Every structure is written in structure tokens, then in C-alpha cells.
Amino acid sequence: MTDSTDGERRDLIRQVRQRLEALGRAGLDRIPSPPALPKRGAALLEPPVSTPVLNAAREPAPSRRPVEPPSPTIRNAPASLFSEPELPGPVIAPAERPARLAALAAEVAACTKCPLLASTRTQTVFGEGSPTARLMFIGEAPGETEDHTGRPFVGNAGILLTDMITKGMGLAREDVYIANILKCRPPGNRDPSTEEAANCLPFLERQIAIIRPEFLCLLGSPAAKTLLQTSLGVTRLRGKWHRYRGIATIVTYHPSYLLRTPNAKKETWGDLQMLMKAMGLKLPERKKG
């Protein structure tokens, strides 16, 4: 076996193990066999044959699992092992990902699909973080500071997002991946138009397919609307699991909204804790008294 095949095999084994562990932490003690799961939404159907999940909760399995409608919302389970192939293209080996992302970033930098944005931007803001991140945050579009620096979430909203990641979740910013629906700043920080979001979406889809995160955290309504194809707002979407092409996905308030509405921070903290639990991250001890 060549080194690269060996590496790909090890990466695949790592991904399968992590996914089984995430399913176990979510309380699933069985997963359906692959032939029983050809379609989105089928993950919670009662499987004809099932496979034990690593570290599954010890409760006895219910005799019948609820049949979920074919919707992107999953009520209790964050991840589905066999829905992962819904991402386009083959799994890219970790060692190749930086070069693939750099090539995609170069395409993005040359993009003029939205003539207004292309003529008003200082530069495109591709995204940054670990090419093998388990978790990807997706915001709306670059603001003024991002447009000047070429980096996502580095203004005031970015400072709050960084605190959410580091102080809240106990991760390093470099461990996750951060991107936006739009790679260009809309003039005056207005919301992205539907056409702009549709023009830019293929870039984000390719970015997600290269990184192949296990979890997505969609920040704010434009991200949720674009990726989950829903007209529901964040208040209705947050606090539960969704699925984007087989990836366990949560929606929460955008950090800019949290800066304007600090009372909503506790709900976002609840969303992050749900995410942390599914990722197997340690929750902070509750202060006594």
C-alpha cells in the first residue's frame, strides 16, 4: 500500500470512529446498515439490520424509532454516518486540502459574478482555519474590517465569535474553520441579495466539501436560509439539529445581533452547549451558589 493510500485509510478510519463516537454521545445505540439508508431523512428509520455505536448510551433501544419526514431537521440526533456521501466529490486527503483550498481561494479572488460587489470590494474574504476542522462556522458576509484585512470575523462581531469559540467552547480559533455565505463585502454592510448568495454558494459548497466538517454552526438568518433552504427565522431554527448534506448543523444568532441584543446571549450559549455535547467537548462546571 502506498503512503498516500495508507494516509487516506487512516483518515477514513478516524472519520468513521469520530462519527460513531458522536452518534453514541447523542444517545443512538444502533445505526442502520448502509443499504437501508439511500435517502436524506432516512437515518432515523427503524433499520432492518443495525450496527452498535461506540460508547452508546446504555439505555435499552426503543422497539421502534420514530419515522422522520424527509426534512433537513433532525430532532434528537446530530449526525448520520451514512448521509456523509451527500457531499460532492471524493474525500480529499488532509495533506492535499491546503493546496485545494488555496486554488479555490484564487478562483474566488478572480470572481466577478456580482459586478457591483466585485467593483466595490477591497479584496475577497475566502475564510480561514483548519483544513481538517470538525466544526465550521458560517456567517453572512465580510464587513468593513474583514474587507480591509481579507480575514473573516475580525471586527467587533469577530471578537465576540472568537470569545464564543475560545472562552465558551474551549477551542482555539485555529482549530475550527470560519467562512461566510458571501466572499465579498456588500456596500454599507447591507444583507446579501438572494442573487448574490446564489452566485457565491458554489464556492462555499466546494469549500465545505474539501474540509468535510462533522458539524456546521450557521450564524444568523442569511446563512440558515441559504444553506437550509428555509424561510424560517433564527428564533424558529435555533435549539435543534438540522442537516446540511448529511452534516449535523445548528443555527444560532449572529454575533452582530448578540452585540445589539445581549439578552439573546444565553440562548446562543445553550446552542453552543448542545454542539459541544455532540462533539464530546467538556462543558464548563456550573458555578455553585
Residues in touch with ligand URA (CB under 6 A)? 139-143, 146, 152-153, 155, 157-158, 180, 256
Cβ proximity to ligand URA, 80 vs 180, nearer residue? 180
- Closest approach, Cβ 287 to ligand URA, in A, equals 31
Cell of residue 17, nine digits: 470512529
What's the CA angle centered on 204, arms 206 and 15, to 5 degrees?
Answer: 55
Cβ proximity to ligand URA, 91 vs 159, nearer residue? 159
Give the Cα separation of 46 and 55 in Å (integer): 20
Cβ proximity to ligand URA, 78 vs 213, nearer residue? 213
- With a CB cutoff of 8 Å and minimum separation 6, the contacts of 194 are none
16 touches 31 (CB < 8 A): no
DSSP string computed for 118-159: HHH-SS----EE-TT-SEEEEES---HHHHHHS-SS-SHHHH
Cβ proximity to ligand URA, 47 vs 142, nearer residue? 142
Cβ proximity to ligand URA, 73 vs 193, nearer residue? 193
Cell of residue 190, nine digits: 447591507
Cell of residue 172, nine digits: 482555539
Residue environment code for 28-42, b if the CB has 16+ CB neighbours within 10 A, otherwise e = bbbbbeeebbeebbb
- Closest approach, Cβ 217 to ligand URA, in A, equals 12
- Closest approach, Cβ 105 to ligand URA, in A, equals 15
Closest-CA residue to 139 (of 258, 221, 239, 211): 221
- Closest approach, Cβ 120 to ligand URA, in A, equals 16
Cβ proximity to ligand URA, 171 vs 223, nearer residue? 223
- Closest approach, Cβ 240 to ligand URA, in A, equals 22
Give the residue carrying C-alpha cell 455505536: 53
Cβ proximity to ligand URA, 140 vs 196, nearer residue? 140
The alpha helices in the chain, defined as continuous H runs, are: 3-25, 97-109, 115-120, 144-149, 156-163, 194-211, 221-228, 234-237, 255-260, 265-279
Closest-CA residue to 115 (of 180, 186, 202): 186
Cβ proximity to ligand URA, 137 vs 215, nearer residue? 137
How many angstroms separate the first and last alpha carbons of the chain?
A: 59
